[in-house]
Every structure is written in structure tokens, then in C-alpha cells.
Structure 1
């Protein structure tokens, strides 16, 4: 930023200085032209009347020559000025000529030949390889008054004037650079302090930054960083909670697997071995389901991952899961039915699949032998509705909110589980802006779960 600011400002000042230099040359030239014209008029007012006595002398003899002071032409300013004259007088000249062009009067600092053509106005002429800027004026009496100055002295004086305009700008560039450097450094000291705070922080220190003394333009950045720190802290807490919960819930089934494996290894009775093998299979299945649901839960946690919305058919998802359950529950004689037709919603397909799968799995697990499970998918105003009912024991009204807590298992259900299914369902609905309601099934007598998902437009906006 400093290099950019100083570079741009220096470039602007150089461009402005170039225009000032050019304008200075132009103004100096105009001033010198005005001086030439003024000199010719002054000369005419002083000598026009007495020139009648010089007329014959100019036509028949040598003109009258006015001596110009000769002095040293070195140095600048006061070094060129003397009590008796100025060193630049030798660069100035004048002539007076009659109507025929004869020189009647001239300065010895100019050429002996005519200074310029007898044409009123300004002219640029070359005499003896020297460039002159001249002005010619004709009096009412018919005399021509000409004044001129050497182009080199004219350019030198004009350049000095222009450089006097440009020099302050050039000297201001380093001073401006120092001031900008100091000002920007002073303004950003608060940001440097915040940077030092971030650099010195430990990885677990995620408290928000303090924006005290920070430039107002950086407050938005500090606020965004603080929001990021809050999200990181929530993410770390979620990971720690998930790890702690997983370790806690896996401890018992892993211990059961180890116990059954030891019993199976030590058992010599064939009947005991069969029983122990069955218990081992049940324990392994429980661990398998628990790990699967833990992974599902980690994927649907808020902020755990980003997802892009797709059109998902709830009816197709329910049909796939019910087909799997029919094969698994064939021996139990569970009657499983699906009602409705294709019903699209916009959402994350994997998350919605986990939602449908957990609801269907819970219903089939809690339905008794020979019981029934019914699933309905229907379109409703503003979205879609999924209803899952079973003929199981249901959930008491006072406990229906607690079942959404992680690892909560209602006592007396008589079904082994991890207590994660409805928690996963709630997380998926939070992601999609949906809702869930639990009540008693009026037809099957068990639990009825009603899930509402918003329309495609509302989900995409969310």
C-alpha cells in the first residue's frame, strides 16, 4: 500500500510538474513578447520626434549607434546585476529604420544588418547563426521600430522561471513519501497489534479478537475473523463431543464383544458355543449399527460439510429402504406398506437418505412380531410430507422431546439401539429447514412420525 500510494502520488506530481513546466515556458514566452512590444513603444515615444534630424544621416551615412553596457555574463540572480547595468543587456538589441529600410539608430549589442523584415508584429529570424525573437512597430511618421532578444537568453530565462515552478513539486515528493510512510504506519499500528495477538495465540485459544484501536476500515475484517473463530470453536467442541460420545457408547458393546469372544474361545459345550456365537453376532451387529449412525451423525452436523442441493424423490428413498427391511424382517412377519407417489424435494441426497433410513429402521425395530409399519409420502402446500407409523409401544407424550437427545434410549422399549436415529433426523431437518412431530398413530396404535420439508424454492433460498 505504501509503495502504491507513494508511486501513484509521485507519478501524479511528476505529470502535474510537466504541465506546470510547459505552462511556465508558455507564460514566460508571453511575458517576454510583451516586454519586446513594450520596449518598441517606449523607444518610439522617446525618439520618434527627434528622428527628423537623423533622416539624412541614416540615408547617406552611418547610423547612430547606442552603446550597451558590457559586463560579465556568469552566475545567476544578483551575480548578473551591477550598479551600472545587467549582463543580459548584450542579448538585447533595437533598431530604428526609415520608410526605405535604412537603419537610423541601433544598439551596439545587435547586428549591423536589419534585425527583421519591415512587417509589423513578431518574427523569428536567424542572423549570423544566432536565433532572435523580434517585434516590429511602425510609427505615424513612417519610421520602423524594432526590438529583439537572443533566443538563448530567452530560453534560459523561461527555463529558470519554469524550473522555479517545477522544483517545489519535485522537492515535495520525498517529503510526501516520508509523511505518507509515517501516517500509514501510525494508522495501522492497531492492526499490527492485532496481528501480534493472533501470532502469539495458542491453537486452542479461540476467544474473539478485540478491535480496540484498529482502523475503522478493518473492523469488518476483525468481525469476520471473530465469526470464523466462533465457528471453529463450535466445530472443535462438536468434534470433542462427538469423540467423547463415541468413546462412551462404544465402550460397552466392545466390552461385550470381547467377553463373548473369550467365552466362545473357552467354551467346550456345543450348545453353549452356539448361544455364545449368537450373542457375539448380536454384539457385532450393534457395534456396526452404532458406528454407521455415528458416521451419519458426523456428516449431518451443522457446518460439518458443504452440500449442493439436488432434486431428491422421497418416495423412491422410502421404497428402497422398505425393500431392505422386508428382506430383513421376513422371519418376524412384519407387514410393511408404502403409500403415495413420486414426490421431489430439493436437498442433500445423502442426508435425506439417512433421514428416511433411520425413521424406517426405528419403526421396523419397534414393531412387534407380526406387527405393521406404514409409510406415506405426499405433497402438501409449500413442500412435502413423510409419515411413518408403526404398531409398536410408542413413546409417552412427556418423553417425546427427550428422544431427540443423543444416545437417549427410552426405558422399557425392549429394543436394543444406540439412541442416535432421531437425533440424526433432527439434524437433517435443521439443515433443510424442515420440522418433525411425534404423536400416537390413530390406526396402528404405535408411534407416528410426521416430517415436513419445505418446497424446492424455500430450501434453495435457505
Structure 2
């Protein structure tokens, strides 16, 4: 930034000096052109009439002597009591109508400064560029004034130098000020950078945004948002590992006991019973692992891309998958599937529907009844499942969403994760899950609804 700023500043100064020089040269030229005309008019006013007497007595021209010393410097250093150092660069001549030289300055040649024609000219005299002005009077005399062009160039250089010199002298000071300003403005960014560089990987607290420039506040907010999401993800992973370690310990221990019993049993009946228990333990362990993985995926569903899904078709597929279990349990199911669409992750919503259906089947007694209804009311899609099981007491309907919580006395094997998965998926999709008693079947009724205006992406952003 410093290199760019200082380079740009130097370039601008160079461009400003160039245009200053051109403007100075132009202004000097205009001023000197006007002075040439004025000098010529003054000369005419002073000597035109007196020269009339010389026409009868032709002879050598009158020569006016000037100061011809050597001087260096600027301003007052070039001015003396006897004259000025620039006198040798100024000249004038007077010619009569017969082109005879009547009067000249000693700095002027004996030949015309320029062609005897009214107006300005730029001749080369003695190898030097001159600027001249010629005027003719009524009596036919020619008056010429001239000056060397290097006077104009020196004046333009003085103007440009006077403009650039303060800027060049101020450049180091400006560089120091810019360096200090840049460091002052970016000191808060350096603090943020130091915070990130020295931060412990386990520390996910937000960065301090004190005195951060407005241009960098968006970056700090984005980093803090990332830290919050990382903290949430790490907490979810730690919670999953802790839950898995806690819940898998008991079924694995039971599986080892049943395996030892089957290995040590001497009677065929006892061995067969132990092997059946091993099979049941493996099935429970498999279900527990599957639900733990499903719960972990459900917690991270907000990171997935949403799609538009047909809720009735999704429910129909999951109900068909339960037909063998329904047949074994001699359970009947009444379906009312109306067209309804929701927006979300297909795998997560499938897990929600599957867990609700499996819970209903498992808690419904043999020969019991289930009811499934999918529909839409006032742009609000919903999914309802009711069963003829024991239901859930009103005071426990909120607690059953906790992980590994199971209602006592249900006599149904389970891990206590089914409704936790349902709640996680519903929250991620902006849906609402309510538990109640079924008026028709007498058991539990679960309703999942997507309120009007709720959206998967809006739920993620929230």
C-alpha cells in the first residue's frame, strides 16, 4: 500500500510539473508578446516625431547603449543600478520608408530583426531564437522590438520550479505521514491477525472487534460466524462421541455375556436360548448404531442442499417398506395421502418419517391399528401418524424428545433416540412437531407441520 501510494504521488507530481511548465511557458509567452507590443508603442510615442528631423540628414543610425555585464542568479541578483542582465537579450530598431536604419539598441543587429511586415515573427538571429513584433507608423517608419526566447523559457522554468520544489521537499514528510496513517489504520487488523495466529485450536470464542475499521468489520463478522459454526460442529461431534461411548457400553457388555453363555452352555436348549439372545443383542446394537449415525447426520442437515420433495410420495414409500412387519403383527394401517410438497433434504426427511412410523408400529399392540394422513391446509403441509398404543402422558411429552429418554413400563425395546432424531430434523427444516392423544385410536398422535412461509433455507439462516 505504501509503495502504491508513494509511487502514485510521485507520478502525480511529475504530471503536475509537466503541465505547470507548459502553462508557465504559455503564460510567459502571452505576457512577453503583450510587452513587445507595449514597448513598440512606447518607442513610437517617444521617437517617431524627433526622427522626422533626421530624414533630411541621412547618416549612421543612432545607437542606444545598454548594460552588458555578467550576472548569475535570480530576482534582485540580476538587477543593478546601471541596468539589468537581460538587457542584452532585448532589442529594438527603427527603419524609414526607404528601409534605412535610423535607430537601434546596441543589442540589435544592423539588419532587420525580421521581415518588415506588421505583426509577430520568430526569426533565428545569431544562432538564437527570437520573438519580434513589427509596427508601421503613418509616416512610413518601421518600429521593431524583439527578445530572445530563452528569457521566456527561463521564466517558465522558474514558475514550474517554484511549483514543484515545495512538493518535492514535502514528499519525504508526506511519505512519513502516509506511513504513519497506514500503520495507525491497520493496527486493529494486526491485532485481529495476532488473535487468530495465537489462538488455541480449541478456543472458538469470537474475535474482538474493538476499533476495527468499517471496511474490515464484515471480515471480522464472517470469521466470528465461522468460529461459531465450527464450535457448534465440534460440540456436536463431542456430544456424539460421548453418547455413543455411553450407550454402546451396555449392549456390548450384554452381547459378550450372551456370547459367553452360548459358548459355555452344555444343553442344547440353553445354548439355543443363549444364541437367540445373542441375535437379539446384535439386532439392538445394530439399531442403536444406526440411530446414532442418523442422529449425527440429522444434526448436520443444515449443511446440505435443499430440494423440493413430494411429502405424500415419501411417506407412501416408507409405509410400503413396513408391510412385512405389519403383516407379522397383524396390524392395520389407514392411509390418507393428499398432495403436499415440502423443501428440504431427502435423506433427513426420510429418517423423520421412518422413525415416526417405526415407533408407531413398535408401540402398537398386535392386532392394533394405525392411521397416516398427509395433506395441506392454507399452504401448510402436514404429516400425522396416530396409533392405538398406550400413548404418552402429557407431563412426559416434552421429555421424550431428550436423547436416550424412554417411558418407563412400556416394555418395548428401544434406544430412546427416535424422537430426538425427529426433533433435530424438524428444527433444521423449520417444521413443528406436536404430540397429543388420538381421539379415534386412543393412542399417541404425532403431527409434523410446515407453517406457511417456513422454508428450509430460512431455518438454516436462523
Same fold by TM-score, threshold 0.5 exceeded? yes
Match among 57, 65, 68 for residue 67 of structure 1: 65
Q: Name the structure 1 match of 2:93.
A: 95
- Which range moved further: 74-83 or 93-102? 74-83
Q: Name the structure 1 match of 2:219.
A: 221
* Contact 1:390 1:448 survives alignment (8 Å): yes
Match among 270, 273, 293 for residue 272 of structure 1: 270
Q: For 1:331, what is the secondary structure of its paired residue?
A: helix
Gaps of 5+ in 2: none
Cα distance in 1 between the residues matched to 2:72 and 2:16: 32
- Which range moved further: 233-242 or 213-222? 213-222
Q: Name the structure 2 match of 1:205.
A: 203
Q: Name the structure 2 match of 1:447.
A: 444
* CA apart distance, 1:74: 5.1
| TM-score normalised by length of structure 1 | 0.91
* Contact 1:260 1:277 survives alignment (8 Å): yes
* CA apart distance, 1:363: 0.6
Q: Name the structure 1 match of 2:82.
A: 84
* CA apart distance, 1:23: 1.3
* Contact 2:207 2:220 survives alignment (8 Å): yes
Cα distance in 2 between the residues matched to 1:204 and 1:459: 30
Match among 299, 311, 315 for residue 312 of structure 2: 315
Which structure 2 residues correspond to residues 274-423 of structure 1 after superposition, within 5 A? 274-301=272-299, 305-423=302-420
- Which range moved further: 82-91 or 282-291? 82-91
Match among 396, 412, 431 for residue 434 of structure 1: 431
* CA apart distance, 1:114: 0.7
* CA apart distance, 1:94: 0.9
Cα distance per residue 1:367-424 (max 9 Å; x no partner): 1112222211112212211111111111011100111111111111111111111111
Sort the Cα spacing of 1:355 and 1:56 in 2 relative to 1 into closer, same or farther, 3 A: farther
Which structure 2 residues correspond to residues 132-143 of structure 1 after superposition, within 5 A? 132-143=130-141
Cα distance in 2 between the residues matched to 1:402 and 1:372: 25
* Contact 1:132 1:151 survives alignment (8 Å): yes
Q: Name the structure 2 match of 1:246.
A: 244
Q: For 1:70, what is the secondary structure of its paired residue?
A: coil
Cα root mean square deviation, aligned = 2.4
Sort the Cα spacing of 1:456 and 1:292 in 2 relative to 1 into closer, same or farther, 3 A: farther
Structure 1 moving runs of 4+ over 6 Å: none
Sort the Cα spacing of 1:99 and 1:461 in 2 relative to 1 into closer, same or farther, 3 A: farther
- Which range moved further: 214-223 or 241-250? 214-223
- Which range moved further: 378-387 or 72-81? 72-81
Sort the Cα spacing of 1:54 and 1:175 in 2 relative to 1 into closer, same or farther, 3 A: farther
* CA apart distance, 1:425: 1.1
- Which range moved further: 135-144 or 305-314? 135-144
* CA apart distance, 1:318: 1.5
Match among 164, 173, 178 for residue 176 of structure 2: 178
Cα distance in 1 between the residues matched to 2:454 and 2:6: 51
Sort the Cα spacing of 1:288 and 1:54 in 2 relative to 1 into closer, same or farther, 3 A: farther
